[in-house]
Structure 1
Amino acid sequence: MTTTITAPERVPSSGTPMAGAGFLTALRVFSARSLTHSFRDVESLLMAVILPIMLMLIFTFVMGGAMDVTGDGAASREDYLSYVLPAIVVTAAGFGASYTAVVVSNDMTTGFMNRLRTMPFPSFTVLLGHTVASMVRNLLATAVVYGAAWAVGFRTDASPLQLVGSVGLIALWILVITVVFAVLGMVAGSAEAASGYGFMLLFLPYVSSGFAPVESMPDWLQGFAQHQPMTPIIDAARALLNGETPGSEWWIGILWCAGFIVAAVWTAAVLFPRKVAR
């Protein structure tokens, strides 16, 4: 008896490559990845929450009884706490965003981006995922700071709309500083360099109206303190938080934020393809 072996029938190929992950799917995956790494790094997470509380307590209870920020000749810790709170939040956001520069630099220098070139993912969603995760971390730290401030005596006369405006302006700066540090992490050659490049940005709140009135500074420093980005942002957020009118400071602060974001996005759009193609 002769047995005939029939070759398996070939299924004709459509010639269409397998569809990759879409933008939203990739963003969700990389945001979840970055958040998971953040919450596993307990030391960094605790520092992001504890540091702003320590700064607030130190400035309020060490300097609060000596700083007359109302101009009435009487210094009180409650007045200074209301004055310094926005500066504490934006300062802590800068330190929290510096962690983003480190993790982005690690992804760029350890071969992770090279692996993504062989996968159906839009590579730039890695940067966006780190940005989303950093925003979540910093907003969580901001909420904790406001809660701690309330516990030690902070009260406000702001309306709900003013509170939303104050928190929204601070959240906008958190987004700005996060995007800037993500780009710094992308261009840096190492994680240490990425952290160092943004070092100067972390000191901007100290040389602004955040911790002391600009008028109390030396004449040669007042010009810089008055015309750098942190002063209008902090002044507007402080005015809204205390139920006052921010004047022109709010739109000047928004213009600064828009300028930083445009510069960072343009830098990423130009340099990221070159970095990934290496």
Structure 2
Amino acid sequence: MSTLKNALTDSSMMVRRSLLHIVRYPSMAVPIIVSPIVFLLLFVYVFGGTLGAGLGHSGGRHEYVDYVTPGILLLAVAGAATSTAVAVATDMTQGLVARLRTMAIFRPALLTGHVIGGLVQTFLGVAAVVGVAVLIGFRPTAGVLGWAGVVGMLTLLIVSITWVAVLMGLVSDSVETASNLPMLLMILPFFGSGFVPTDSMPAWLGWIAGHQPFTPIMETLRGLLMGTPVGDNGWIAVAWCVAITAAAFAGATTLLNREPKG
């Protein structure tokens, strides 16, 4: 019981530290909120007329904003990973992790703090995107269960991407490297169904888009938000999130517990 109490105490301390960093250093949090909103406005007002016309029905911007919002939510989640990766790399390069290794502290508490802090920070960005999307015409038809599913899917996604960001921060040899690695995550929504249907792509690219992790997640969010069938995308999306979380968690904890050479 004492070990469990110490683990909870250490973890809550690190969570508080991460949340205080969000308040004290808004320069990292502001881009997380602003960048996806800029992408949303860009795609709706610059490209939305043309891209929306290809969706069928009445087409146009008002239909495209319903289609593109799930893709922008994925961009918001992927973009928030930069802040977490940088925070972890900073702790590594400034010697905090080395000091913690010499102390009687629950080691995973540091990672837990970063993950929960990242979860809170990312949800702020996601909420901002949804708010702006509604202002410019996004009209989800989800009921209570649909919104519960959306929140659950986003939580699984954010946790998985945040653990990937933690792993990226641990493997980075500098803060600069850590700030660049998550950019790879931001590319995936563009090579998926985030902005155009995969069946509009060349066959080879459509196959890649249909089998990468973000596409079933975006299709699940789109179905839940707009009240359309989710189909197999639901369980595939959950499976991807669980697998990514497990792999990133295992890699991050292994690196954290590995004693430095020399």
1:9 corresponds in structure 2 to none
The whole-number CA distance in structure 2 between the counterparts of 1:271 and 1:43 is 28
State the one-letter code of the partner of 1:66: T
Is the aligned partner of 1:227 residue 2:193?
no
More displaced stretch, 112-121 vs 160-169 = 112-121
Q: TM-score, normalised by structure 1?
A: 0.88
2:32 corresponds in structure 1 to 48
Do 1:38 and 1:45's aligned partners in 2 also have CA atoms closer than 8 Å? Answer: yes
Candidates 159, 180, 184, aligned match of 2:168? 184
The whole-number CA distance in structure 2 between the counterparts of 1:227 and 1:23 is 39
Change (3 A) 1:79 1:20: closer
> Structure 2, unaligned stretches of length 5 or more?
none
The whole-number CA distance in structure 2 between the counterparts of 1:171 and 1:20 is 25
Q: What is the number of residues matched between the two proteins?
A: 260
State the one-letter code of the partner of 1:33: R
Q: TM-score, normalised by structure 2?
A: 0.93
The whole-number CA distance in structure 2 between the counterparts of 1:273 and 1:237 is 36
**Largest Rg, 1 or 2:** 1
Deviation string 1:239-263 (CA, Å, 9 cap, x unpaired) is 1100112011010111111111111
Is the aligned partner of 1:249 residue 2:249?
no
> Which stretches of structure 1, 4 residues or longer, exceed 6 Å deviation after superposition?
18-21
Is the aligned partner of 1:205 residue 2:186?
no
The whole-number CA distance in structure 2 between the counterparts of 1:20 and 1:253 is 32
Deviation at 1:198, TM superposition (A): 3.0
* Higher percent of residues as helix: 2
SS in 2 for 1:59: helix
Is the aligned partner of 1:158 residue 2:152?
no
Candidates 217, 229, 249, aligned match of 1:265? 249
The whole-number CA distance in structure 1 between the counterparts of 2:255 and 2:87 is 18
Q: CA RMSD in A?
A: 2.0
Deviation string 1:89-108 (CA, Å, 9 cap, x unpaired) is 11111111111111101111
State the one-letter code of the partner of 2:126: T
Percent of aligned pairs with the same amino acid: 37
State the one-letter code of the partner of 2:166: A
Residues 97-176 of structure 1 aligned to structure 2 (within 5 Å): 97-176=81-160
Deviation string 1:2-45 (CA, Å, 9 cap, x unpaired) is xxxxxxxxxxxxxxxx9997111111111111111122122222
Do 2:75 and 2:186's aligned partners in 1 also have CA atoms closer than 8 Å? Answer: yes
The whole-number CA distance in structure 2 between the counterparts of 1:187 and 1:170 is 26
Do 1:106 and 1:191's aligned partners in 2 also have CA atoms closer than 8 Å? Answer: yes
Deviation at 1:62, TM superposition (A): 1.0
